[in-house]
């Protein structure tokens, strides 16, 4: 029972590391100018290190000191987490397009007629060979950290599960594994809550004073302190690793297999129809979860105009606990009714069928992109009522990005593109509003920040339905594991779980985030450019984003069913 407790704690803190990356992915995209495809690759790269070793290590199974190996893996995970935070300390401070660019001797991004070239292109000004190289180095460090995170995570789950299943009574084993799996789900939940807390602090909290920061966390240019969470998580993993070096090896004597038995055991498991089908169903569920975990916060931010902090809070406080409830309920039903293998599979099918029915309406809960002048079209002319001439004399920079919302409900990419010539300023030097805007019909005024999508009333039904779908899908988690553990030969247990995790990684966790990221990138309608390369996306076609993102999830749910 103490081992179950320690293992729960370790899995919690290990998943805090990988889950925290997913909670801060949209912030890292904005900070280093990454596309969703690149950030998807980054999120799935820990599976590379993992996949290379998992089958071989789990084949060794009970022939090694499992607790000690778990401890060594945890130390590596802790190092990887420290490494993830490193880019913040080796790069310069975050630079953004400023409303009051004090460096340009009181030149602001207001409309300045008759001053062509007063505007140095902000994005190109920072485009030195050093800046370009810096971004490549950041990506390289993060990919290395992710690979190390994967290698460290190899022994943790397979060895922990088989160690517990070997020593627990047959009656209690499902309960312990159920507890463990529910903790596995709390991990990302806590990670999203941690993300929600950390992203409220400004990214350079250690480099600049609070008085110098002119942004609020509602500003689309805001970047939160993404690196802080990695330091917290790394410390927790290091603490959780300690007890493992003191657990006994204590195994019942088994007839040792030599390595020549490897291909025989491998084929024996892969030819087992129940094992293979259950693993393939789990592959579909994991592919769905991979996309959900990596980009759900970003989806909520864009679809319902939420801050990154609030989106993480919703996922951490509602969606993830929902999945945990499902896992515990699945395990409890199993223990209460002492289910046979056939009943276990029936429970899995029923859970997925109900999940499909609940998830389908999600495809229709959302709003189109807000009206953005020169970017989206919303009338018959295909341009929107945006007079191109109204800011022609302003000589606006192409890449300036400091969105403002006009009093006419139309969003502009900068005060200059709205033709604004004046602004009033708060006492603490942040902009209150812009006036004399030649492109804005009516009062000609604008406020800093984006216009909302007008979708806030659909947020609650969306969250409730997605939480319910999560509960139903996750009831199949423990029964599907029992199907695997009870249908294979006892001596193959460690190895079968190892192959299962490898297949989940190769077929779901590795390609999943990249696939979702690529699908999301196809819905972008305005890209930021950095040094003549495509960087992060500024505006998505929200309807396409919703259909492609949730459509992919629905596809995998059908596959699992």
Place of tokens 């927790």: 236
Neighbouring C-alpha atoms within 13 Å toward the C-beta of 493: 19
Q: What pLDDT was estimated at residue 142?
A: 93
| Helix (H/G/I), strand (E/B), else coil: 128 | coil
**How far is Cα 88 from Cα 77, in angstroms, rounded to an integer?**
19
- Contact (Cβ atoms closer than 8 angstroms) between residue 422 and residue 402: no
Q: How far apart are CA 490 and CA 171, in angstroms?
A: 16
CA distances from 476 to 16, 140, 272, 321, 352 (A): 23, 38, 20, 16, 8
Instruction: Please give the backbone phi and psi of residue 524, each rounded to the nearest 5 degrees, phi first.
Output: -75, 135
Q: Give the pairing of strands 533-540 and 524-530.
A: antiparallel
pLDDT tens digit sequence for 20-47: 998 888 889 888 888 888 999 998 888 8
Number of neighbouring beta carbons within 10 Å of residue 481:
26
Which residues are CB-neighbours of 398 under 8 A, at least 6 positions away?
121, 529
Q: E strands, 407-449, where?
A: 411-412, 422-425, 431-435, 446-448
**Residues 40-81 pLDDT 10s:** 999 888 888 788 787 777 677 667 888 999 999 999 999 999
Q: Is 1 exposed, middle or buried (0-12, 13-18, 19+ CB in 10 A)?
A: exposed
Helix or strand (DSSP H, E) at 534: strand 533-540
Per-residue pLDDT, 107: 42
With beta carbons less than 8 A apart as the criterion, state whether 454 and 308 touch.
no
Six-digit token string for 412: 């502009």
Question: Comparing 378-392, 443-457, 468-482, 533-547, which segment has the lowest mean pLDDT?
Answer: 378-392
Task: List pLDDT tens digits, range 202-241.
Answer: 998 888 877 777 777 777 888 899 999 999 999 999 999 9
User: Would you say the CATH fold of 258-370+453-560 matches that of 1-93+129-257?
Assistant: yes
Q: Burial letters for 192-205: b for 16+ Cβ neighbours within 10 Å, e otherwise?
A: bbbbbbbbebbbbe
CATH number of the structural domain 258-370+453-560 = 1.20.1250.20
Which residue is associated with the tokens 């790394």? Answer: 234
- When pLDDT is averaged across residues 180-201 and rounded to a whole number, the result is 85
8 Å CB contact between 173 and 165: yes
Do residues 465 and 358 touch, judged by C-beta distance below 8 A?
Answer: yes
Please provide the distance, in angstroms rounded to a whole number, between the alpha carbons at the two ends of the chain: 34
Q: Domain ranges in the chain?
A: 1-93+129-257, 258-370+453-560, 386-448
Assign 3-class secondary structure to 454-484: CCHHHHHHHHHHHHHHHHHHHCCHHHHHHHH
252 pLDDT band, cuts 50/70/90, is very low
* Residue whose C-alpha is closest to residue 349's, from 483, 151, 248: 483
What whole-number distance in Å separates Cα of residue 6 and Cα of residue 534? 45
Percent of the chain with pLDDT over 70: 88
* Cα angle, residue 514 at apex, residues 510 and 518 outer, rounded to 5°: 165
Global pTM? 0.76
DSSP-derived secondary structure letter, 224: B
Pairing of β 422-425 and β 431-435: antiparallel
**Element housing 524 (H / E):** strand 524-530
Q: Residue 97's pLDDT band (boundaries 50, 70, 90)?
A: low
The per-residue pLDDT for 430 is: 64
CATH number of 1-93+129-257: 1.20.1250.20
Distance between CA atoms of residues 29 and 19, nearest Å: 16
Report the distance separating Cα 74 and Cα 156, nearest Å.
Answer: 8
At 537 the three-state DSSP class reads strand
């Amino acid at each position: 029972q103490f081992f179950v407790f320690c293992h729960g704690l370790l899995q919690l803190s290990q998943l805090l590391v990988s889950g925290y990356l997913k909670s801060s992915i949209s912030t890292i995209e904005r900070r280093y100018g990454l596309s969703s495809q690149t950030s998807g690759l980054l999120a799935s790269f820990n599976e590379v290190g993992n996949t290379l070793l998992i089958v071989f290590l789990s084949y060794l199974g009970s022939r090694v000191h499992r607790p000690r190996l778990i401890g060594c893996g945890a130390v590596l995970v802790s190092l990887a987490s420290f490494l993830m935070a490193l880019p913040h300390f080796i790069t310069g401070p975050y630079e953004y397009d400023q409303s009051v660019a004090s460096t340009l001797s009181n030149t602001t991004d207001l409309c300045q007629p008759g001053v062509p070239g007063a505007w140095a292109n902000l994005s190109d000004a920072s485009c030195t060979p050093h800046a370009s190289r810096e971004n490549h180095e950041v990506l390289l460090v993060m990919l290395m950290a992710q690979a190390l995170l994967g290698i460290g995570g190899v022994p943790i789950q397979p060895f922990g599960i088989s160690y517990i299943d070997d020593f627990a009574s047959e009656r209690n084993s499902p309960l312990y594994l159920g507890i463990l799996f529910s903790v596995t789900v709390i991990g990302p939940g806590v990670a999203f809550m941690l993300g929600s807390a950390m992203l409220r602090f400004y990214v350079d909290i250690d480099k600049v004073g609070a008085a110098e920061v002119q942004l609020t966390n509602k500003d689309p240019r805001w970047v939160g302190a993404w690196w802080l969470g990695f330091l917290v998580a790394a410390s927790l993993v290091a603490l959780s690793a300690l007890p493992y070096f003191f657990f006994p090896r204590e195994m019942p004597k088994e007839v040792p297999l030599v390595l020549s038995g490897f291909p025989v055991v491998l084929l024996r498991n892969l030819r087992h129809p129940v094992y293979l089908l259950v693993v393939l169903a789990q592959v579909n569920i994991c592919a769905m979860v991979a996309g959900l975990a990596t980009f759900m916060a970003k989806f909520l931010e864009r679809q319902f105009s939420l801050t990154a902090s609030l989106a993480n809070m919703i996922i951490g406080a509602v969606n993830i606990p929902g999945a945990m409830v499902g896992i515990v309920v699945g395990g409890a039903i199993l223990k209460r009714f002492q289910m046979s293998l056939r009943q276990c599979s029936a429970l899995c099918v029923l859970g997925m069928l109900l999940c499909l029915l609940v998830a389908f309406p999600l495809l229709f809960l959302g709003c189109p992109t807000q009206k953005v002048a020169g970017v989206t079209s919303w009338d018959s002319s295909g341009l929107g009522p945006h007079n191109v001439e109204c800011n022609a004399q302003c000589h606006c920079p192409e890449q300036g990005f400091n969105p403002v919302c006009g009093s006419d409900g139309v969003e502009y990419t900068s005060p200059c593109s709205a033709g604004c010539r004046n602004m009033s300023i708060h006492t603490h030097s942040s902009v209150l509003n812009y006036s004399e805007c030649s492109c804005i019909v009516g009062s000609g005024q604008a406020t800093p920040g984006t216009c909302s999508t007008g979708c806030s009333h659909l947020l609650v039904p969306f969250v409730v339905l997605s939480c319910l779908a999560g509960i139903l899908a996750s009831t199949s988690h423990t029964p599907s594991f029992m199907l695997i553990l009870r249908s294979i030969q006892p001596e193959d247990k460690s190895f079968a779980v190892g192959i299962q995790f490898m297949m989940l990684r190769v077929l779901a966790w590795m390609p999943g985030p990249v696939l979702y990221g690529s699908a999301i990138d196809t819905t972008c309608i305005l890209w930021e450019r950095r040094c003549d390369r495509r960087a992060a996306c500024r505006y998505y076609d929200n309807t396409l984003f919703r259909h492609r993102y949730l459509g992919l999830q629905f596809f995998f749910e059908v596959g699992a069913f």
